Structure 1
Amino acid sequence: MREAMAAAEVGDDVLDRDPTMRELELRVAGLVGATDALWTPSGSMGNLIALMHHLDRGDAFLAPAGAHVLDNELGTAAWLAGGMPRPLAHDAGPGKVSPAAVRRAAAGGDGPYHALRTTLLCLENTHNAAGGTVTAPDEHAAVVAAARAAKLKVHLDGARLWHAAVALGVPPAALTVGVDTVQVCLSKGLGAPMGSVVAGSAEFVAHARRLRKMLGGGVRQGGVVAAAGLVALDRIDRLAEDHERARALAAGLRERGWQVSTPQTNIVLISVADLTGTLQRFEASGVRAVPMAGQVRLMTHADLTDADIATALERIGPVDAAAVRADGHRPPVRPGR
């Protein structure tokens, strides 16, 4: 990947486009079934650009509870895009909302002047906070159809869409049918050092380029990082290894008494009574983890091997084991992305 970055053909992406960046954008557009696409430095910026495009100030938008656009983007949906977030309960399974829930939430309230105008549905596949849960094509299509019937636009936060596609054995475009815009990440599991791509119609991308410039996301010789993204796209199928290791990690934790559900992708969530204490114990034993929705989150990724999974399980130990051995701390297992 670094060799590709060093050898990349570059131009000025702020002025007349960078050729390697443009190659990346068009390749992603084809993969997700869109007409055009635009690189952004981060997935949060890609999501924000889509919301700024779709929302007028004061519009409400719907999203599954715990969605990244609601809980992990520092309020930019309201602050910069001017939207009023309305979280929807996961009534169709972890990370998922039903068509009926979308119809109810889009119905509005009392009269044209008192009720919020709901104009957008934001979906997330996989749903990070729910543990990397996957929405299948038929489930996605039904929810999008309900949104369309309610005259809502649809944006898909597909930061981990590659994971969903690999888990289901379908092309990424099968999971984007009917959406107006979609954001996909090049670093979540694919290993690029930075960057996401937001895709949609040609008209959307023309507006998105202006919005990206407003937000400070335009870059000059962007081909350097775009080259890493192109290499990353060649490695999508490798994500199946991460999923397999996540299942092995979850199974090993259950054998040791931890309360863990079987992961659908590469995110392992552990339910614990003492979140802070457990995180401190893991860190002391040389395993780095983060809190997520009141649980401990572990992730598998390209830098881990089967031996690393075995080492992590050995260090974590049974649920009632001591936090760290008397001989002190050990070097940490490499943290996940």
Structure 2
Amino acid sequence: MAIKIDLRSDTVTKPTAGMLAAMMVAKVGDDVFGEDETVHQLETKLAKMFNMEAGLFCPSGTMTNQIAIKCFTQPMDEVICDQTAHVYRYEGGGIAYHSMASVRLLNGPRGIISPELIEPEINDENIHYPNSSLVVLENTVNKGGGACYHLSQIEPIHTLCNIKGLKLHLDGARIFNALVATGDTAKHYGQYFDGISVCLSKGLGAPVGSVLLGSKETIKKAVKIRKAFGGGMRQAGFLAAAGIYALDHHVERMAIDHDHARALSAALNQVNYVALVLPVETNIVIFEVALGFKAESIVQLLAEKGIVCTAFGPRAVRMVTHLDISSEMIDRAIETILHLHPSFHK
């Protein structure tokens, strides 16, 4: 039986042998008591990498994002983000539930927003309006097909936020994919953001966890919010060790995932059941099916051939490459894509 090729997400990866070995020898303690030295090592490592003061290890990127939003807003404030943003679409209404803030949605090209889009939506001081207090960027943009911000795009947003008195947070779910693609360096990010969420369990391949980076004051506040959210972990060093290993061994190899995504895109652009493939910058491929075809039908047919992906709406399909996908798997996926014959639906 052929091996299943799982392109649903880069969250499906399994720890490598080297990562498992590092986890098994991790030095651990009770992290709620602040005694897990491997967690401290991970938090310090990432904080230094991004030129931030401190970090906080959490179970998920949703938690780090929601903690950051709660740190940077008050009830009746408003968060500005793109309408595709993960913090808005895929975090269970957490902005309203946890922070009692409203959301001002923008419509940037492939989820990339700019000062020109942000500034007109910053509310004046008025009893009728919520207080604009936070801008959230996502890098890379999931629903934008892995579109990247360059630092040259982030700097003017930071400047605008400073002038207007707003905080700036980065949902860095796939920040290392962005860094590999753009050539920007992590150390330059800290000067632009009040908070950065770095996910370890996507392209980096760790099994669990994200780290929130910020000032010492922000992270002190975040620790208490994490506790209230139920995110305090005990001997979490076993998980933190996986994150450290990933940072040391799995960053540069992301370029392979990007090459694989481009190869899939090239194949998809050759078939009649695909109308449009979003430009591929990193490891996400999103394509729209042609008129007369259904996304779910395409996904089902591919699954029957051992290629597993995700319908991203009635006419859109997403494929995501990652470290568990080999070149041989990509070749097989391409062969399947090129020879698939989906039914036409009126």
Q: Which residue of 1 aligns with 2:331?
A: 310
Q: CA deviation at 1:282?
A: 2.0
Please give the per-residue CA displacement for 1:41-88, whole angstroms capped at 9, x wherever unaligned.
000000010011111111111001110000000101111111101111
The answer for the alignment partner of 2:309 in structure 1 is: 289
1:266 pairs with 2:286: no
1:278 maps onto 2:298 in alignment: yes
Aligned amino acid, residue 306 of structure 2: G
Q: Deviations over 1:67-112 (max 9, x none)?
A: 000000010111111110111111xx3221121221111133xx62
For 2:212 and 2:23, locate their aligned partners in 1 and report how far apart those are by CA, in whole Å: 21
Q: Structure 2, unaligned stretches of length 5 or more?
A: 1-18
Alignment gaps of 5+ in structure 1 = 324-337
Q: Tell me how far apart the structure 1 counterparts of residues 278 and 78 of structure 2 sit (CA, whole Å).
A: 34
Matched, 1:248 2:268: no
Letter in 2 for 1:13: D
2:146 matched to which residue of 1?
A: 132
Q: Equivalent residue of 1:255, what SS?
A: coil
User: Paired residues, what number?
Assistant: 318
- Corresponding residue for residue 319 of structure 2: 298
**What is the alpha-carbon distance in structure 2 between the residues aligned to residue 236 and residue 36 of structure 1?**
21
After TM superposition, the structure 1 stretch with the greater mean CA deviation from structure 2, 143-152 or 13-22, is: 143-152
With normalisation by structure 1, the TM-score equals 0.91
**Counterpart AA for 1:150:** K
Name the SS of the counterpart of 1:113 in structure 2: coil
The one-letter amino acid paired with 1:162 is: F
Aligned equivalent of 2:68: 50
- Taking the aligned partners of 1:158 and 1:86, their CA distance within structure 2 comes to 20
Instruction: Judge conservation of contact 2:267–2:338 (CA < 8 Å) in 1.
Output: no
Picking from 55, 58, 66, the partner of 1:37 is 55
Q: Is the 8 A contact 1:100 1:146 kept in 2?
A: no
Amino acid across the alignment from 1:280: Q
1:63 corresponds to 2:81: yes
SS of the residue corresponding to residue 127 of structure 2 reads helix
Partner SS state of residue 111, structure 2: coil
| Deviation (angstroms), 1:262 | 3.2
**Distance across 2 between alignment mates of 1:178 and 1:146:** 11
* 2:49 maps to amino acid: L
**Which amino acid in the other structure matches residue 311 of structure 1?**
R
Q: 3-state DSSP class of the match of 1:52?
A: helix
The separation in 2 between residues aligned to 1:199 and 1:81, in whole angstroms, is: 19
Q: Is the 8 A contact 1:35 1:199 kept in 2?
A: yes
Q: Distance in 2 between matches of 1:57 and 1:278?
A: 44
- Which residue of structure 2 aligns with residue 332 of structure 1? none
**Conserved? CA contact 1:63–1:87, under 8 Å:** yes
- SS of the residue corresponding to residue 265 of structure 2 reads helix
Q: Separation in 2 of the partners of 1:193 and 1:64?
A: 28
TM-superposed deviation, 1:155:
0.7
When structure 1 is superposed on structure 2, of 37-46 and 80-89 the one drifting more is 80-89
* C-alpha deviation, 1:290, in angstroms: 1.2
SS at match of 2:165: coil
What's the counterpart of residue 148 of structure 1?
162
- The residue type paired with residue 271 of structure 2 is R
* Aligned equivalents of 1:106, 1:55: Cα separation in 2: 14
Residue 202 (structure 1) aligned with residue 219 (structure 2)? no
Is 1:102 matched with 2:123?
Answer: no
Q: Normalised by the size of structure 2, how large is the TM-score?
A: 0.88
CA contact (8 A) 2:145 2:278 kept: no
Read off the aligned partner of 1:248 and give its amino acid letter. Answer: A
Cα deviations by residue, 1:248-306 (Å, 9 ceiling, x for unpaired): 11112212343323310000011114222222222222211113365200011001111
Q: Deviations over 1:171-216 (max 9, x none)?
A: 1233453210000100111110000000000011111111111111
User: Which residue identity does 1:53 align to in structure 2?
Assistant: C
The root-mean-square deviation of aligned C-alpha atoms, in Å, is 1.5
SS of residue paired to 1:264: coil
Identity of aligned residues (%): 36
**Displacement of 1:315 after TM fit?**
2.0
Which residue does the alignment assign to 1:77? 95
SS of alignment partner, residue 49 of structure 2: helix
Pairing 1:177–2:177 present: no
Whether the 8 Å CA contact 2:51–2:189 is kept in 1: the answer is no
Structure 1 stretch displaced more, 54-63 or 283-292? 283-292
Contact 2:258 2:282 in 1 (8 A): yes
State the 1:166 CA deviation: 0.4
| Cα contact 2:110–2:147 (8 A) shared by 1 | yes
Question: Aligned residue for 1:327?
Answer: none
